[in-house]
Amino acid sequence: MRDHVDRMRWRRHALRGWLLALLFVGLAAPAAPDASSFVARCELEGVVDAGSGAYLSDCVKRAEDGGASALLVRLDTPGGSLEATRAVVRAFLGSHVPVLVWVGPSGSRAGSAGVFIALASNVSAMAPGTNIGAAHPVGAGGEDVEQEGGEELARKVENDTVAFAEGIARQRGRNPEWAAAAVRDSASVPADRAVELRVVELVAPTEAAFLSAVDGRRVEVAGGDTVTLATREAHVVSLEPGLSQRVVHALAQPSLIYLLFLVAALGLVVELSHPGGVAPGVIGGVALVLALMASATLPVRSGALVLMLMGVGLILAELFVTSGLLGTAGVGLLILGGVFLVDRFEPGWFVDPSFRMSWGVMLPTALVFAGTAVFVAYRSAQTRRLPQRGGDAGLVGEAGTALGPVTPSGGEVFVHGERWRAVSFTPIREGARVVVRAVEGLTLTVAEPMP
């Protein structure tokens, strides 16, 4: 009995020891991250347009509604629409969730309109090998505003843009003098120099390094509230753009507009020259609709579209004339329309000079289009020279067999797999070979073949 009591007491002591050990381990272990804490993530790659601007503004709202601890934006842009940029800046400055902008990966840029987006964030970082700046107002073709619109208009556009940049920089505690220089003098600096000038806060090689570096930093959000960033252990959730935002952003490329327009023209030309194909007409119609949608997202000259339409018309006329001159003139108008497609002066756009129609796309595309049109014209000319094989005229010259005696008053023949009523100026015996000489209604005029 005593042994049994000792064993029970020993078991109770062992159990108590295990419980104390587990409690000690639980207290000593680091606290697990809050499962509800997450960082929303979105990215802007390419031009700032109506689609990408709506996407970034929507990301702010979705991050607020979802209770994200911060919104991380990866930025790589040559610039874009000032209207879309202002919408993004309003969303960032009015956000109740801290907005973190990372310019990366290496080789990326925050050019022109991208400067305003980076300045509007609560904390900005850049990857090594990136640059920010060159926000001087230019036409969408890269020309200086003063050269295109005159000194007075250039001053108005520049002063308005300087005030916009300085206002954002002061609100976020960044360098307003550099912000003004980025507009007036097209100042552009690499990542390390941007940190020295208080344009951005950090140099971070990756998004993870950026989130770890800003963990614990206190930032002020809309309404004057101060928020302490908790990003080191936070889960990153990517916010994808909607279908319409994706489509609009994808179409905002000058080269794509040009390609879509030529595809539309080629499809319609093939359908008109070979009616009944259906597929070329459908493809051309869809491409035309997409080209018109894309034209609405970029500053496109209507005169350039007219030139391209005239070029397509001349190439279409070449299908019927086959002179060579009309086709050559049409190709020239297509190239000329491509040169002037993007408006060379649009104060509402802030883009790098590289944002323009590429000769490397325009010339090969126009030549391929011309070559295809020439091939279609050549094949059409060959077809027109062939004898007609269908309809009444197609029966003339066909051979057949007399099914009975054929006289001037009538008879029957078997021609082209069918029985026909026939007449002949000279009597033809049954079973003789006949050749169709003429067709009048449903009656064939036949004769025996020449020996």
Considering only CA atoms, which of 47, 58, 37 is closest in space to residue 240? Answer: 58
CA distance 100 to 124: 6
Say whether both 270 and 402 belong to one domain.
no
What is the DSSP track for 383-443?
Answer: HHHSPP-STTGGGTT-EEEESS-BBTTB-EEEETTEEEEEE-SS-B-TT-EEEEEEEETTE
Q: Give the mean pLDDT of 429-442.
A: 88
> Per the structure, how many domains does the chain have?
3
Say whether both 284 and 306 belong to one domain.
yes
pLDDT higher than threshold 70 for residue 249: yes
| Beta carbons within 8 Å of 15's beta carbon, 6+ residues apart | none
**3 lies in a domain?**
no
pLDDT higher than threshold 50 for residue 407: yes
Say whether both 225 and 260 belong to one domain.
no
Residue owning tokens 């601007």: 53
Structure tokens belonging to residue 297: 């997202």
Say whether both 271 and 419 belong to one domain.
no
**416 lies in a domain?**
yes
Say whether both 118 and 162 belong to one domain.
yes
Residue owning tokens 């001053």: 155
Say whether both 156 and 214 belong to one domain.
yes
| Beta carbons within 8 Å of 242's beta carbon, 6+ residues apart | 55, 58
Say whether both 238 and 285 belong to one domain.
no
**104 versus 450: which is more confidently predicted?**
104
Q: Give the mean pLDDT of 12-20.
A: 46
- pLDDT (tens digit, 9 = 90+) per residue, 176-212? 999 999 988 889 999 999 999 999 999 999 999 999 9
Decide: 428 and 402 in contact? Cβ < 8 Å: yes
Grade residue 154 by pLDDT with cuts at 50, 70 and 90. Answer: low
CA distance 239 to 43: 9
Structure tokens belonging to residue 442: 């449903």
**217 lies in a domain?**
yes
- Tell me: cis bond preceding 254? Omega within 30 of 0 counts: no
Q: What is the mean pLDDT of the chain?
A: 80
- pLDDT (tens digit, 9 = 90+) per residue, 57-89? 999 999 999 999 999 999 999 888 888 999 999
Question: What does the pLDDT read at residue 394?
Answer: 65
Say whether both 62 and 133 belong to one domain.
yes
Domain boundary among 338, 357, 385: 385
Neighbours of 369 (CB within 10 A): 23
Q: Give the mean pLDDT of 293-318.
A: 78
**367 lies in a domain?**
yes
Q: Residue 59's Cα: distance from chain center in Å?
A: 20
Domain boundary among 336, 357, 385: 385
Question: What does the pLDDT read at residue 289?
Answer: 85
Say whether both 300 and 264 belong to one domain.
yes
Helix, strand, or coil here: 4?
helix
**132 lies in a domain?**
yes
Q: Give the mean pLDDT of 102-109.
A: 95
**102 lies in a domain?**
yes
Residue 437: domain span: 393-447
Say whether both 88 and 214 belong to one domain.
yes
Task: Give the CA count within 13 Å in the CB-facing half-sphere of 29.
Answer: 9
Q: What does the longest C-alpha to C-alpha distance in the chain come to?
A: 142
**418 lies in a domain?**
yes
> What's the length of the chain?
451
Domain boundary among 217, 242, 267: 242
Grade residue 45 by pLDDT with cuts at 50, 70 and 90. Answer: very high
CA distance 351 to 359: 18
Question: What does the pLDDT read at residue 30?
Answer: 38
Query: Can you give the CATH number for the domain in which 73 is found?
Result: 3.90.226.10
Say whether both 398 and 320 belong to one domain.
no
Decide: 196 and 203 in contact? Cβ < 8 Å: no
Question: What does the pLDDT read at residue 41?
Answer: 97
CA distance 424 to 224: 105
Say whether both 374 and 443 belong to one domain.
no
Partners of 394 in the beta sheet? Answer: none
Tell me the CA distances in angstroms from 10 to 17, 21, 143, one per residue in order: 11, 17, 90
Q: Give the mean pLDDT of 322-331.
A: 76
Considering only CA atoms, which of 105, 96, 100 is closest in space to residue 120? Answer: 100
